[in-house]
Amino acid sequence: MVTPYTQSLLLYAYQASAHALTETLHKRGHPAIRPKHGAIFANIDEEGTRASLLAERAGMGKAAMGELIDDLERLGYVERAPDPKDRRAKLVTAGPKARQVMQIVHEFNDGIERRYRELLGEQAYQILRTALRTIAAKDDMQPRMR
């Protein structure tokens, strides 16, 4: 039997979670939301965020982020508004539908955390979280909006 790479295990765990979250969002009234939209929902600030910062946080190009913003704006989830600090710039802001999605995501993630605790037990759960924080080595983590 071949032992899977740790990277593969992390990917499979993410894919299962993303699939379950997408199903939950669809059942709760947001059928147009796709996993790729998480790049915006996970990285937008309460007061809005410039597209370039959203792209940087998501680790993607500005053009690809622009397409996601266009998509969610067309669907009525986000809006572009003037940046009060720089009139030439635009902020991407979360509209009411985006806030509904983020609330569902928070509820879903709280449930996943409880499930992991139950599956692993508290000690193994804390070890897993510590290990993942070490591997991720990122200081600026989500959620950004509650």
What's at 140, amino acid-wise? D
Selected residue with higher pLDDT from 108 and 135:
108
| pLDDT tens-digit series, residues 68-114 | 999 999 999 999 999 888 888 899 999 999 999 999 999 999 999 99
Selected residue with higher pLDDT from 12 and 139:
12
Give the whole-angstrom CA distance, residue 66 versus residue 40.
10
- Residue 140 near residue 57 (C-beta atoms within 8 A): yes
Give the whole-angstrom CA distance, residue 107 versus residue 145.
13
The first and second tokens of residue 54, run together, are 């959203």
At residue 138, the pLDDT reads 67
Q: Output phi, psi for 45, to 5 deg.
A: -90, 160
- Number of C-beta neighbours around residue 80 at 10 A: 14
Taking alpha carbons only, the member of 81, 80, 79, 70 closest to residue 36 is 70
At residue 145, the pLDDT reads 59
Could you tell me the pTM of the whole model? 0.86
Picking from 62-66, 95-99, 133-137, which range would have the lowest pLDDT averaged per residue?
Answer: 133-137
Q: What is the mean pLDDT of the chain?
A: 92
